[in-house]
Amino acid sequence: MRTQHHPATAIRAGRLFAMLFCAGIAVAEVSAQVAAPTKAEAPYVPTPTSIVDRMLTLAGVGPGDYVIDLGSGDGRLVTTAVTKYRARGGTGFEIDGALVKLANDNAAKAGVADRVKFVERDLFVADVGEATVVTLYLMPGMLGRVEDKLAKELKPGTRVISHDYPLPSWTPVDIVKFETDEKVPISGTTRTQLLLYRVPAKR
Ligand SMILES: C[S@@+](CC[C@H](N)C(=O)[O-])C[C@H]1O[C@@H](n2cnc3c(N)ncnc32)[C@H](O)[C@@H]1O
């Protein structure tokens, strides 16, 4: 027996589908929010300013660059990249809202709020595609997931510079090791290393 579809029934079915579709999106959005960790996976420990300079110099930051700091603290890496190394812009992603406010205030004081922004966001769901340079000062236990994300999302040629801790399976193109008393209050040792990586061409 052939079933007759009344137009009103089709309209109701269409509306139901649209409602389910929208509900699906809403559920997916809620799931994404629930999946994001709500607390920092690394403590706030600012990179001493002399090491900020060494990181940005080693990465060769200059006028063509867009710098993203994952876990951006008070914003010093991105703001210095723009004020001192003339990067064209940058973004910091930081999970601590008070630090995000401080970083945006610091950028405004430095006169670069038009080119620099700090966003309260879990770094694992942050959009990093615009970066030409990514800076990191994170805990070793996070870096496996960070390198997976960066490998998927960064453009070939993008430089990644990590303070102290290596990306577990990437090979650095440069490593600089030095001693500085400024690290003693932070890590209990003068030893410091900076590891520079370059995202390879896609195969
Ligand atoms: C060691 S501090 C480095 C701060 C800054 N990058 C610097 O070098 O001065 C690490 C920062 O990462 C932030 N953080 C930790 N887990 C995070 C996450 N999942 N998403 C975003 N920020 C995170 C912490 O709140 C902290 O400010």
In the predicted structure, residue 8 carries a pLDDT above the cut 90: no
Neighbour count for residue 68 (Cβ, 10 Å): 28
Choose the residue to mutate in 138, 149, 162 for probing ligand 1, maximizing ligand atoms within 8 Å of C-beta.
138
Residue 144 corresponds to which tokens in the numbers above?
């496996």
**88/116 Cα distance (integer angstroms):** 9
**128/119 Cα distance (integer angstroms):** 12
**158/13 Cα distance (integer angstroms):** 49
State mean pLDDT over 44-52: 97
Q: Which atom, in ligand 1's list, is nearest to the CA of 92?
A: 6
Residue 56, C-beta contacts closer than 8 angstroms, at least 6 positions apart: 67, 77, 80, 81, 84, 85, 135
CA 42, 48, 49, 52 torsion-angle sign: negative
Entry pTM: 0.84
Domain ranges in the chain? 1-35, 49-198
- Ligand 1 — pocket residues by CB below 6 A? 37, 40-42, 44-47, 69, 71-73, 76-77, 93-96, 99, 122-124, 137-138
pLDDT in tens, 67-111: 999 999 999 999 999 999 999 999 999 999 999 999 999 999 999
pLDDT in tens, 136-195: 999 999 999 999 999 999 999 999 999 999 999 999 999 999 999 999 999 999 999 999
User: What integer pLDDT is reported at residue 37 of this predicted model?
Assistant: 54
User: What integer pLDDT is reported at residue 203 of this predicted model?
Assistant: 59
Residue 150 corresponds to which tokens in the numbers above?
């960066």
Confirm if 133 and 158 have CB atoms less than 8 A apart. Answer: yes
89 alpha-carbon distance from chain centroid: 14
CA of 111 to the centre of ligand 1 (A): 23
Domain 49-198 annotated CATH 1.10.8.60: no
> Beta-strand (E) ranges in the chain?
66-70, 89-94, 116-120, 133-136, 159-163, 174-179, 191-198
Q: Tokens 């010093």 map to which residue? A: 76
Residue 54 corresponds to which tokens in the numbers above?
């060494």
Give the least confident one: 12-16, 35-39, 102-106, 134-138: 12-16
State mean pLDDT over 56-76: 98
Q: Which atom, in ligand 1's list, is nearest to the CA of 99?
A: 27
How, if at all, do strands 191-198 and 89-94 pair? unpaired
User: What integer pLDDT is reported at residue 200 of this predicted model?
Assistant: 86
